[in-house]
Chains A and B, each alone.
Chain A
Amino acid sequence: KNEVEQSPQNLTAQEGEFITINCSYSVGISALHWLQQHPGGGIVSLFMLSSGKKKHGRLIATINIQEKHSSLHITASHPRDSAVYICAVPQETSGSRLTFGEGTQLTVNP
């Protein structure tokens, strides 16, 4: 079973700050997902990455396969970034079965 650990669990920042959320997993994976969940409950897929780095707007995701570690960075954070960020990894034999981290509650104050 693949364990997924996220840190920190809670994060409060001031608008404009640089944010980093970390994710570690225990076994080899083909890809890692970063998800965003707003208070309404809907989940949005931010990134799926298997190596290196991906960037979308102010969001950057990196992964180090050898160290089994991924980070999600938010540059120039904004109150609308306030949400729960979740990393998830697929089961080795099924890409459609995800194991999730506990999530990081991010609050960005104006």
Chain B
Amino acid sequence: KAGVTQTPRYLIKTRGQQVTLSCSPISGHRSVSWYQQTPGQGLQFLFEYFSETQRNKGNFPGRFSGRQFSNSRSEMNVSTLELGDSALYLCASNYYNEQFFGPGTRLTVL
């Protein structure tokens, strides 16, 4: 079985721009969680999608949004980028409380 894939792996944007990150879960997994990792805050939960519905949301501003498609692929979007959004964004493919992490997308905001 293929693992979790995330694209792109690296991204450089400037303040004010928006960005879309993609995550393809393991085949058959219907739940995807997104996390942000920064040196200062560590790993923090962004949101979780299950069967195209947002099931849980972390404490992030509305600039952070996501969606899930019928094939379980998920995207997250960050609008009006700020310097503090520079981070590693990880998605996890969930199956009965087990989480399988993707390699992450490293976003740098200049």
Q: A residues bordering B, Cβ < 8 Å?
A: 30-31, 33, 35, 40-45, 48, 86, 88, 90-91, 94-100, 102-103
Chain B's nearest CB lies how many Å from the CB of A67? Answer: 22
Chain B's nearest CB lies how many Å from the CB of A49? Answer: 11
Q: Please indicate the chain A residues that have their CB under 8 angstroms from the CB of B35 in the complex.
A: 98
Closest to B57 in A: A97
Q: Main secondary structure on chain A at its contact with chain B?
A: strand
Chain A's nearest CB lies how many Å from the CB of B58? Answer: 7
- Known contacts being A48-B98, A90-B97, is A96 close to B33, with CB within 8 Å? yes
Chain B's nearest CB lies how many Å from the CB of A48? Answer: 6
Q: Encode B76-110 as 1/0 by CB contact (under 8 A) with A.
A: 00000000000010101010111111111010000
Flag whether B63 is at the interface (Cβ < 8 A).
Answer: no
Q: Please indicate the chain B residues that have their CB under 8 angstroms from the CB of A42 in the complex.
A: 101-104
Flag whether B43 is at the interface (Cβ < 8 A).
Answer: yes
Cβ B42 vs Cβ A43 within 8 A: no
Closest to A42 in B: B103
Closest to A33 in B: B99
Q: Please indicate the chain B residues that have their CB under 8 angstroms from the CB of A102 in the complex.
A: 42
Closest 4 pairs between A and B when the two form their complex, measured CB to CB: A95-B97, A43-B101, A100-B43, A42-B103
- Known contacts being A41-B104, A42-B104, A86-B43, is A94 close to B98, with CB within 8 Å? no
In Å, the complex CA distance between A70 and B44 comes to: 21
Flag whether B55 is at the interface (Cβ < 8 A).
Answer: yes
Closest to B32 in A: A96
Cβ A94 vs Cβ B43 within 8 A: no
Q: Please indicate the chain B residues that have their CB under 8 angstroms from the CB of A35 in the complex.
A: 101
Cβ A103 vs Cβ B42 within 8 A: yes
Cβ B97 vs Cβ A30 within 8 A: yes
